[in-house]
Chain A
């Protein structure tokens, strides 16, 4: 099922997603103890190729936290970091857990190599960030939107995203993709949050926002 979204409808969805993405950024900031800047979210109807470009190209290596969206709205959410930025974020997140006199973790020279604690911290960061987004969205829908358990993978962006695109594009040639970038100024940690709703779920959202038919 596809839904043709008018420009006005897209503006309403963009506004709601924008507020939810701000909440997501605040949640990531609160968890990491850093001030996180949230870029103005971009909402675009685009092809599979466009989504891959938005993610930095199909071969760019990312650490991705994936959370499926279920409930009254359905779709997919991914928080992506470059491997180097993911390491820096893990260091920040775990620093707060070290007791007095405890040594920091040994750093590996291989930026694709993460220990279990780092992966766990990053998975939780993705979970908290995306859950904050969904909570805000649920308030607008007046119905809960639930996350699936988070999954963390280190892979080529194309390989991570194609499973999501396959799920969304069996009956459509385009998807609606929302994206924002979180930045932590001092240490330049950039993360990208992607939200890809199922087309039929957009109707639920527009209906709840009183924007159906505009």
Chain B
């Protein structure tokens, strides 16, 4: 199992989201530290989305629509639904929120991100079906739109959720 390199690689940079219903699409967020990636995938319509959140709370932002969890989550979920996904049957997976450096509360930022995401999902009647949150390792994540596999690559391993 490897993280794919393909022409249909769609990258979610910091504060960005990518969505696809194309079976050969791979949605990727590179080099997550304290940031958090949320992958939502509908097994029936095969619609998938990946959001790369940065911080728990802040105002909506045009250039980085999902920079903040509180203002960006609804935008992301609405975009997935607009593509034909039904949230109640979607797998909802997350990774990131590590503590790499003890920078200005760096330990706390990752933890705050994961708490904010789980709480915001609960408020919308959703729960994480799988997650790899916390720890001290950086992660690159990839959602396979064809089958909903969520691959997590660190320096030492590649795992699947």
Contact = CB atoms under 8 A, between A and B. Distances in A.
Interface string B28-55: 0011111100000000000000000011
B100 A159 contact: yes
Given A59-B30, A158-B33, A66 B55 contact: no
B103 interface: yes
B6 interface: no
Contacts of B61: 173
Interface residues of B, number: 32
A161 B116 CA distance: 21
Contact of A154 (B98, B102, B140, B155): B155
A49 B54 CA distance: 12
Contact of B63 (A68, A155, A167, A173): A173
B137 interface: yes
A164 B101 contact: yes
A169 B54 contact: yes
Contacts of B137: 155, 159
Q: Which of B13, B15, B103 has the most CB of A within 10 A?
A: B103
Contact of A112 (B99, B103, B104, B155): B155
A47 B13 CA distance: 11
Contacts of B127: none
Nearest to A161: B33
B155 A167 contact: no
Interface size class of A (residues with CB under 8 A): 20 to 34
A201 to B, nearest CB: 13
A66 B32 CA distance: 17
B31 A166 contact: no
B106 interface: yes
A166 B30 contact: no
A58 B32 CA distance: 8
Nearest to A70: B104
A150 to B, nearest CB: 11
A163 B30 contact: no
B64 interface: yes
A166 B54 contact: yes
Interface of B: 13-15, 30-35, 54-55, 58, 61, 63-64, 67, 98-106, 109-110, 137-140, 155
Question: Nearest 4 A-B pairs (CB), nearest first?
Answer: A158-B31, A159-B138, A58-B31, A159-B33
29 contacts: A48-B15, A48-B54, A52-B14, A61-B155, A68-B103, A151-B101, A154-B155, A155-B100, A155-B137, A156-B140, A157-B31, A158-B30, A158-B32, A159-B31, A159-B32, A159-B33, A159-B98, A160-B101, A162-B31, A162-B33, A162-B54, A163-B34, A163-B99, A165-B14, A167-B109, A169-B54, A169-B55, A170-B55, A173-B64
Interface of A: 47-49, 52, 57-59, 61, 66, 68, 76, 112, 151, 153-167, 169-171, 173
